[in-house]
Structure 1
Amino acid sequence: MTSEGSQRPPARVLDALEDAATSESRTLARASRYLLDHPDEALTQPIAEIAAASRTSPASIVRLATSLGFSGFRELRAAFREDLAFSRGRATTIAGGDEHAASTLAADIDPQDSLEAVVKKVAFADSRAVADTADAVSISELERARTLCTKARQVVTFGVGASAFAAMDLEQKLARIGMRATSYVDAHQALPAASLMGDGDVAVGISHSGETLDILDSLAIAQDAGAATIAMTNAPSSEIARLADITLLTHAHESELRSGATASRIAQLTVVDFLFVAIAQTRMDEAHEALARTYSAVSARRR
């Protein structure tokens, strides 16, 4: 049961702990990281042992639980056990039912891995990112995003680095079905464009961490100008999630060698597809006609 006046417990405890592991509170970050790095031990250890192993205190472990919306650590641990079992079960399914293979494929890429192992680990991480993102994204938030974009005068997307690909992909897809859409992947172009947005416009900011300053500033300026804002991020408690009117969550874990390059991008493109298809579904006739005309326009360029 959630304590009086607190937030509701998260739907995905592993996501919430990942988010807490980047908390400004070093104590809460250490406690979260211990649970994530030593899940089997944390499921059975007394709270005092968890506190000692994570270099925190029993009170800090309880504070972590209540900060996530739980009444105490016992409730957090029960939810953690359930979410961990679900996550491992999904990993096993993706690995063809082989628990050992799932554990091996989920491990970080090692410099000594064979090329075959690298291919399998990357494919596993990308497949898992798509499945986990489908669970993480809120259908109600997706519906709200669809409604906003369908009625929008224009949709402007913002993304830098690896997130630029998702921003450009959404812009290209919307433009192909006859919607007015633009993407900006450079701050010196994005910020002036955001300032010229207004009522009836929708700004979509894409940031895996949710803390990219160029994207935060672009959304804030667009919002101040009167535009509605949508965030696409992997971090539900990030600055961009707090700023935006609507948040569409991705769910991807990156290894040191894959950081910011593969699974997170695949997850973002998955949400782009969710949103695009949802929008196209409401304007099927216009979408089919626009796609036919745009296909015809470029078909002569193919051999």
Structure 2
Amino acid sequence: MATGSTPVTAEFGLRARLQGTVPTMSASMARTARLLLENPDLPISLSIFEFAERAGVSAPTVTRFCKFIGYSGYTGLRVGAAAELGRSVGEDSIVGEPGASAHPEMSDEDVLRTFLASHVQALRASADLVNLGDMRRVARMISDAPQVDVYGVGGSGTVAHSLVDRLYLVGVNARAWTDAHLGLMSGAILPEGAVAIGISSSGETSDTIEMLAEARASGAWTVAITSNPHTTIAEDVEVVIQTAPPNDYLDLGSLTSSHVQTFAADLLYLLASWNREEKKERNAAAAMNAISGRRLNSRSARPSPRAAEPSPPKS
């Protein structure tokens, strides 16, 4: 688990916290989580002892369970349950029913509504799980680092490249690695003060874990972006950035993984860019000037370099 990271303190996000951490819970905690997923209002009306009895566990287990999913204790869980319930009642018509599944027999309206709902729910859950204190801390480290390595494979690799492309434009010496051999070599020679970020929704992608571990062994300050803060990639890193788990909308859930990762990556970029405002403005102007002539409407408005050249004399 991350060392020195700030505990999650937001009231919202109870459902996302449960779904993201159930796979790594003990049997008794998983039983408690399932009870809470099926009856999210129970903590509002039950004492810790009554809730423990319903779950078939002890009161100390309930307390450990609360801390495992990011609350300070049962009181925090009750507040989170009340906040989640109050918001869901007001927004069900917008985001739809969690657990919905799209199918070919749906009307066009229902397909679009369910598809949109899956993405809205995933992004909202990620926002609930964000700890801006940790995000600002990571952004500051990125801004000051001599080099930033970002590791990821598959869809996470695409997000890694997107983050690096943005950071590069504000003057951050950032590189994305999706090949384990190249990433391991880069991690082994990172300079002092470097930052290494590993992106893995499952938290168990071996290539990404190994690249991040190599960077950590070289002295890099490490960050994990994952949907489960209790997985291998989150071990011994300085900060864990938790994203929404991908299984809230059944077959549509997996489609949202890259979106919630991009949400976290773009937020990191935004915060980091604020630390480099002068360079951001200068680089943005230079970059836009460099590509201004690459758009078709811009090209048609002025002659091409070839057209401006004088014709060679006829022989």
**Which structure 2 residues correspond to residues 84-123 of structure 1 after superposition, within 5 A?**
84-93=81-90, 95=91, 99=92, 101=93, 104-111=96-103, 112-123=105-116
Which position in structure 2 is the counterpart of 1:143? 136
**Which structure 2 residues correspond to residues 38-77 of structure 1 after superposition, within 5 A?**
38-40=39-41, 46-47=50-51, 50-51=54-55, 57-59=56-58, 62-69=60-67, 76=74
How has the CA–CA distance of structure 1 residues 176 and 64 changed in structure 2, closer, same or farther, with 3 Å as cutoff? same
Which of 204, 212, 225 aligns to 2:218? It is 225
1:237-256 CA-partner distances (Å, limit 9, x unpaired): 23323321122222355322
Is structure 2 residue 27 aligned with structure 1 residue 26? Answer: yes
Letter of the structure 2 residue corresponding to residue 25 of structure 1: S
Letter of the structure 2 residue corresponding to residue 133 of structure 1: S
Cα distance in 1 for partners of 2:226, 2:106 equals 30
How has the CA–CA distance of structure 1 residues 217 and 272 changed in structure 2, closer, same or farther, with 3 Å as cutoff? same
**Which structure 2 residues correspond to residues 141-180 of structure 1 after superposition, within 5 A?**
141-180=134-173
1:132-163 CA-partner distances (Å, limit 9, x unpaired): 32332212211211221111111111112222
1:40-96 CA-partner distances (Å, limit 9, x unpaired): 567668557734xxxxx333x7524324339xxxx63x5444323323444455x4x
Contact 2:130 2:241 in 1 (8 A): yes
Is structure 2 residue 80 aligned with structure 1 residue 83? Answer: yes
Contact 2:216 2:222 in 1 (8 A): yes
How has the CA–CA distance of structure 1 residues 205 and 66 changed in structure 2, closer, same or farther, with 3 Å as cutoff? same
Cα distance in 2 for partners of 1:48, 1:223 equals 40
Cα distance in 2 for partners of 1:32, 1:171 equals 37
Which position in structure 1 is the counterpart of 2:242? 249
- DSSP 3-state at the match of 1:232: strand
How has the CA–CA distance of structure 1 residues 63 and 20 changed in structure 2, closer, same or farther, with 3 Å as cutoff? farther
- DSSP 3-state at the match of 2:195: strand
Q: Which moved more, 1:183-192 or 1:150-159?
A: 183-192
Cα distance in 1 for partners of 2:209, 2:100 equals 30
Which position in structure 2 is the counterpart of 1:260? 254
Residue 109 (structure 1) shift: 1.4
How has the CA–CA distance of structure 1 residues 113 and 191 changed in structure 2, closer, same or farther, with 3 Å as cutoff? farther
Letter of the structure 2 residue corresponding to residue 207 of structure 1: S
How has the CA–CA distance of structure 1 residues 129 and 15 changed in structure 2, closer, same or farther, with 3 Å as cutoff? closer
Which position in structure 2 is the counterpart of 1:124? 117
TM-score by length of 1: 0.79
Residue 292 (structure 1) shift: 1.7
Structure of larger gyration radius: 2
Alignment: residue pair count: 280
Cα distance in 1 for partners of 2:95, 2:265 equals 29
How has the CA–CA distance of structure 1 residues 9 and 234 changed in structure 2, closer, same or farther, with 3 Å as cutoff? closer
Residue 232 (structure 1) shift: 1.4
How has the CA–CA distance of structure 1 residues 91 and 187 changed in structure 2, closer, same or farther, with 3 Å as cutoff? farther
Q: Which moved more, 1:187-196 or 1:9-18?
A: 9-18
Cα distance in 2 for partners of 1:9, 1:279 equals 21
Cα distance in 1 for partners of 2:51, 2:227 equals 29
Letter of the structure 2 residue corresponding to residue 63 of structure 1: T
Cα distance in 1 for partners of 2:31, 2:189 equals 43
Cα distance in 1 for partners of 2:8, 2:216 equals 29
How has the CA–CA distance of structure 1 residues 142 and 218 changed in structure 2, closer, same or farther, with 3 Å as cutoff? same
Which position in structure 2 is the counterpart of 1:285? 278
Contact 2:29 2:65 in 1 (8 A): no
Residue 217 (structure 1) shift: 1.1
Cα distance in 2 for partners of 1:152, 1:115 equals 49
